Structure 1
Amino acid sequence: MKDDKWKTLVVILVGSFMTTLDINIVNVALPKMAASLYVDLGTIQWVVTSYLLVISTLVLMFGRLADIKGKRIIYQNGFLVFSVGSLLCALSKTMYFLIGARLIQGLGASMMMACNFGIITMIFPLKERGRATGILGTVVAIGTMAGPPLGGFLVGNFSWQSIFLINIPIGVCAYLAGVKLLPHDKILDSNKNFDFKGMITFVISVLALFLSLLNGEAFGWRSIPILIGFLLFIVSFITFCIIEINTEVPMLDFRLFKNKFFSAGILCAFISYCVIYFTNIIQPFYLQHILSFSPQKAGFIMMVYPVTAAIMAPISGVLCDKIGYRIPTFVGLAFTCIGIFTMSYLKLDSSYLAIMISMTILGCGYGLFQSPNNAGVMSSVPKDKLGISGSMNSLIRNLGMTSGISISVAIFYSYMGGKLGSHVSALSSGNPELFVTSMSLTYKVGSVIAIAGIIVAFMRLLRKTELEE
């Protein structure tokens, strides 16, 4: 039985690696896709956006379905749906067909993302859970790290279709392995109905929020479409909350948030992802356009962060098993704050070493925080809520990433536009001094947000859970 749980973990790791890899591997192929399908780069970005939108809107639904129907059947069939979507992506001849195929691929990814933490929590005892989630964190970091170079190799030597074709044999083999290895979970919610009203209002609210955040800078934050989008989000989310509170069997049980450890963990996760993704858009432009690094050199520096995170994740998992999750999460958020703060002092003449040190600190923060926090969140809920709790983790990750990118770019543009006296909507190297000043302010705001997370983690540190007593 001991060997079986580790074999099962391998199946979970394969799914997590595939779904994370496909968020990043596509980026490097976008120019070739655009040329092949005769669309501009602005249009081809929907290949990335559509995938993330489906995951964000449906992951909570599949988490709830996993609690009703079983995590095994949802996760296992996620491999098949993902593989079918990958095949259709490779066969795409038009932009609309490709986006449709990416929607199917995102459907399969959301099925797997909704269940991975739940299955790990189900099969691993508390004393080994941190180690298992630490390994999962390493694989996620490797998937993030491997996406661009692997995509570049495949596109350079074959075609853009190859980045989707490699998923098919892996997905099919993982599905067959899952048939044998995934556990038959005891379904505690099998007689309960699914909350369709809650699902519809939730999907509308998330779509409205994400589309508004993703397009706010392009349309203008005060433009009519963006304001309508945010208004639609507010109305639909309030409606969702009312439905959930008054439904006998809600899709999202708000009683979970009465658990202070669950709520604190979810809030800390959002802050962590939000702060880390402050660097996602600005840093590549700083390295290539301001410091005039080659794409290869810039890519090497950017890899420091995921490599450090991949090294630290299993270490933090072992620490979590030995001393609990509260101290590692607090220290991890502290490192995140220090990392983004040191990056705010990068200048026009910053050394190669200074940049790498600041990104190493940021990577340490991510690696130390994520695995223990995930273990803490999943350990704080009853077994019949593992599916919905795991999907909440995935949803918060996507929301944090999207919010981090949107907030950082909005701060950057607003400050630069204020200094220039005109609207700015593109990251330009025309004024290097102003670029660096705007970047510094943006990263300092990120460090302030991180401090809020540190405070929440510290308050959780002072309290004891029943499991740790």
Structure 2
Amino acid sequence: MGMLTFMSVLDGSIVNIALPSISKDLKIPLNQATWTVIVYLIVISGLLLLFGRMGDVYGKIKIFKIGTIIFTIGSFLAGISKFGLIFLLASRAIQAVGASMAMSTSFGITTSNFAPNIRARAMSVIGMFVSLGAIAGPALGGAILNFLSWSYIFWVNVPVGILAIFIGFKYFPKDTISQPDGKIDYIGSALFFGFIACFFLAINAAESVGFGDFWVIAGLIISIILLVAFLKVEPAFKEPMIKLEIFKNQLYSISLITAFLVFAINSYTNILMPFYLQDLRKLTPGQAGLILMAFPITNFIFSPISGWAGDKFDKEMITLIGLAGLTLSQIGYLSIGGKSPYILLIITLIANGLASAVFQSPNNALTMSTVPKPLLGIAGSVMALARNVGFIVGNTFATTMLFLSMSRLAGRQVVNYLPSHPEYFIKSMHFCFIFAGILSLIGLMLTLYRMLRRQVLSKYIAKN
């Protein structure tokens, strides 16, 4: 389960570094190549709640197994380059359907199959693969492109998927269906998918044309209308796609918001560091990838340790320590200059990866501990959605803030790195990390509030 979760999350970011190669190979403009990323993220995020609900009605393990097969098929098809852009986009959509099925059910499967006293350790394995997949894209993608064509960025999933299919069918426990007589709310699903599509398209367009553009504003307004319609329609259904009262659970909502913030913060590193290493420091994608691997490797090593600590000690204290470390690591990026020794950057990346690992596993366990068993599927899918939206919003804000700051310093619109003025990039990068640090402080304050109010909020913990 962890392997497929890693690959499905990874595929949201690994393609970014291959976009120039895809553009050249398919003889298409770069802005058309970016649709390979956009389509994947829209389909995944738009279907998460639907598949989370299906997991509660038809069985989470069943949905996960089907998703594994679909994702593997889509990965194989996406690597076939000779059929052009439309074929690639269709393959990415197939990939995304499978990835969404896996993402939406992984936390629910883990929560329902592990006792509370070892749940944080189990969650740490899933969290480890999620965090690794979210941040390892540029690093792993650069390493693959150093030796192979862009097709292998997709084909690397195939053997992993086949292994996951075999292990899943052989070792998964018997499925338990929490709501066997439940119904699927397809109207709510359609409204939610429309909201996600309009929101993501508007946010993506804002990276290029800014938030003042007419079509960006129109897209955001339509997305808000669809979201309001979704929120109005859901209570009217006897069996809605998501019971909105789940968000009245303060412990669940606070844990969800902090998780969203952490993924948004880490997206700043994911976006800014490749610019810094490849454009300013003139490293190759492979060389940059090796340095950036410091983050995911650290995260991979310390996530299980964090999970063990979460089971043995105070989960809320551990998440607080993680967020404090995350805030300090954002301050650490402010010490990175145009000629800083690479070891300083590596130490900062390690600190960032360590802090994220310390936070993630106990927070996941805290979040899912608040949800009654019949709602584990939908609650897990909302967690995955918060992660994806955090990733998208973080990417957009980092890119937009970087170029707005560079434009202000240059006195004109800037949409690319300026080789003649590296100081503009450094100042703008620092500005972005200051904002990321503020987001981290907000998460720290929310976690402190959750900790200080633990006696009041303990009433929300479910007896699963």
TM-score range, shorter chain: over 0.9
The one-letter code of the counterpart of 1:26 is: V
Q: Relative to structure 2, which stretch is displaced further, 432-441 or 171-180?
A: 171-180
- Would you say the 8 A contact 2:143–2:289 is kept in 1? no
- What TM-score do the two structures reach when normalised by structure 1? 0.91
- Would you say the 8 A contact 1:333–1:453 is kept in 2? yes
2: distance between equivalents of 1:311 and 1:368? 11
1:150-191 CA distance string (max 9 Å, x none): 555655655443443443344234324322322333323222
Alignment-derived partner of residue 2 in structure 2: 13
The one-letter code of the counterpart of 1:140 is: V
2: distance between equivalents of 1:413 and 1:33? 24
Evaluate the alpha carbon distance shift between residue 153 and residue 308 of structure 1 in structure 2; reply closer, same or farther with a 3 A threshold: closer
1:186-236 CA distance string (max 9 Å, x none): 323222221112111111111111111112021222111101111011111
The count of corresponding residues between Structure 1 and Structure 2 is 458
Mapping 1:138-217, distance limit 5 Å: 138-143=128-133, 147=137, 151=141, 159-217=149-207
Please say if 1:38 is aligned against 2:27: yes
Mapping 1:418-457, distance limit 5 Å: 418-457=408-447
Give the SS at the match of 2:417.
coil
1:67-95 CA distance string (max 9 Å, x none): 11110110010111112212322345111
Please say if 1:256 is aligned against 2:246: yes
1: distance between equivalents of 2:233 and 2:393? 26
Give the SS at the match of 2:405.
helix
- Would you say the 8 A contact 1:309–1:364 is kept in 2? yes
Alignment-derived partner of residue 90 in structure 1: 79
Please say if 1:132 is aligned against 2:122: yes
Q: Relative to structure 2, which stretch is displaced further, 361-370 or 147-156?
A: 147-156
The one-letter code of the counterpart of 1:258 is: K
2: distance between equivalents of 1:419 and 1:161? 39
1: distance between equivalents of 2:158 and 2:228? 40
Please say if 1:318 is aligned against 2:315: no
1:359-410 CA distance string (max 9 Å, x none): 2221112111111111111111000111111111111111101111111222
The one-letter code of the counterpart of 1:195 is: D
- What TM-score do the two structures reach when normalised by structure 2? 0.92
1:127-152 CA distance string (max 9 Å, x none): 11111121223333454576556555
Q: Which runs of 5+ in 2 are unaligned?
A: none
2: distance between equivalents of 1:167 and 1:439? 33
2: distance between equivalents of 1:308 and 1:259? 33
Evaluate the alpha carbon distance shift between residue 304 and residue 380 of structure 1 in structure 2; reply closer, same or farther with a 3 A threshold: same
Give the SS at the match of 2:297.
helix
- Would you say the 8 A contact 1:137–1:310 is kept in 2? no
Q: Pick from 101, 109, 134: which aligns with 1:119?
A: 109
Residue 252 of structure 1 and its aligned partner are, at CA, apart by 1.6
1:226-263 CA distance string (max 9 Å, x none): 01111011111111111123322111211111111100
Residue 411 of structure 1 and its aligned partner are, at CA, apart by 2.0
2: distance between equivalents of 1:308 and 1:86? 27
Residue 44 of structure 1 and its aligned partner are, at CA, apart by 1.4
The one-letter code of the counterpart of 1:240 is: F
2: distance between equivalents of 1:322 and 1:222? 50
Please say if 1:242 is aligned against 2:232: yes
Evaluate the alpha carbon distance shift between residue 341 and residue 386 of structure 1 in structure 2; reply closer, same or farther with a 3 A threshold: same
Alignment-derived partner of residue 223 in structure 2: 233
- Would you say the 8 A contact 2:264–2:390 is kept in 1? yes
2: distance between equivalents of 1:402 and 1:318? 30
| C-alpha RMSD over aligned residues | 2.2
